[in-house]
Structure 1
């Protein structure tokens, strides 16, 4: 009897030590005034000790690098965050010229509804919340006993299959899930992006850095040109080759316009207020 009990416990430990990977299809508007929405695949890794949410393209690039011995890097405007399991504290990884970590405490207060629907053979229940200055509707299932979901959305009595805001800016939909034999190592694609260890800063400092970057968006680019010793080097900004210093003002203004139009974060109440023209 004791032997049987030991086997059951060992099996249980083995199962809980696995990583549950969920793939979400993420539709989002870069510019809230534009009808166009981008679509990417996002990873939610529910590991034994932590939870990670990031772009699936990072996994593809990492796999290619390992297979072909390459050192390609990729980063974009999609969220990347890590939190301890069953915690509301998120470490947000953000790239503004350099890689930073901003720790936030994020509580999501849900209101459960009796409304249900079926999706992929699962019965989903509706829940709503106000978070980050937006109103959200989520659909979750109690059939998967994980109180998790995409981005910072967690805390429901089951797994979130779908969540969207009421303005149609953002939508996450679960499209696939499977188990990994071991925790996927994200060290080279998140924690040490391009060999650079992320620096932890307070949220207020990040906003200042973003404003400074807006006011002089080509600062580091101009420094690279200034310190360049290779006469054959070519310098590109937004697909345009820089051949003279006279171009800098126009390119800076173009970059600022791009930053204004792309200023539509998931948490609207944390949007940086860039100066208008």
Structure 2
């Protein structure tokens, strides 16, 4: 782990955010030899906890500076909001529409006597089974916060590191900072002006299957209904010139969805039909 930059000062003052940044490595394809990489933010506020990609905060800062209203959304992990000291999570998911999904994610931890030192912090080992995977965590009682990245929480101290036993998903704490006022992360309240629609897990699966069945439906419908020869259509930077081309690209998109069907909660992986 790189040298940690953590600020350990009282956390009980009102209207403030204690931010922890985690380096996140993941395999969308479990058979891949290389990791995708991202930085994730864990904001611990007086009343709630929020977890989301660092790039969202970057975009928010640029919007403020430039007077813009750009939106950004990634799908490697859902953004999360939960009430502080609670296992009740709200996941924010973008699947053509913007959805919110509530879940209760209680974890049973087993603590070990194994310890290691990172900088000035003593880390203790703990394990749990969650989302169909076995997880190994290292937490520190030196930071009196029972929180961690994603849905992981409930230990007697902040989680510094956590990974599954197959090393498909790895989180490592890299930095900490404190804001004198609560960082509201308003960009989690809507996407492109759309408020999240509360749904069940069953509906999320249905929407994922619909997307798999016709991944380029919107562009295909727009292309078919277009009557202006001056209009051009692009998918991932490639100009669309025929419906047959869209069909071929849809086939490739489905192959990618099958190959990269390795969610962090593997017990919720969608069983796509092979076409």
Give TM-score scaled by structure 2 length: 0.92
Distance 1:271 1:193, change over 3 A: same
Matching residue of 1:166: 165
How many residues align structurally?
265
SS at match of 1:15: coil
Inter-partner Cα distance in structure 1 for 2:144 and 2:99:
33
| CA contact 2:124–2:138 (8 Å) conserved in 1 | yes
Distance 1:185 1:228, change over 3 A: farther
Matching residue of 2:72: 74
Unaligned runs of 5+ in 1: 1-11
Larger Rg: 1
Matching residue of 1:89: 88
Inter-partner Cα distance in structure 1 for 2:208 and 2:237:
22
Of residues 208, 221, 224 in structure 1, which corresponds to 2:222?
224
Instruction: Tell me if 1:268 matches 2:261.
Output: no
Identify which of structures 1 and 2 has the higher relative contact order when contacts are C-alpha pairs closer than 8 Å and 6+ apart: 2
Q: Deviations 1:197-248 (Å, cap 9, x if unpaired)?
A: 1101011111011001101111122223244465433222233211111212
1:13 Cα offset (Å): 9.0
Matching residue of 1:126: 125
SS at match of 2:184: coil
Q: CA RMSD in A?
A: 1.5
1:183 Cα offset (Å): 1.6
Moved more, 220-229 or 65-74: 220-229
Matching residue of 1:242: 240
Matching residue of 1:7: none
Q: Deviations 1:36-55 (Å, cap 9, x if unpaired)?
A: 10111100000001000000
Distance 1:121 1:274, change over 3 A: same
| CA contact 2:220–2:243 (8 Å) conserved in 1 | no
Matching residue of 2:177: 178
Distance 1:166 1:159, change over 3 A: same
Inter-partner Cα distance in structure 1 for 2:180 and 2:205:
39
Instruction: Tell me if 1:43 matches 2:47.
Output: no
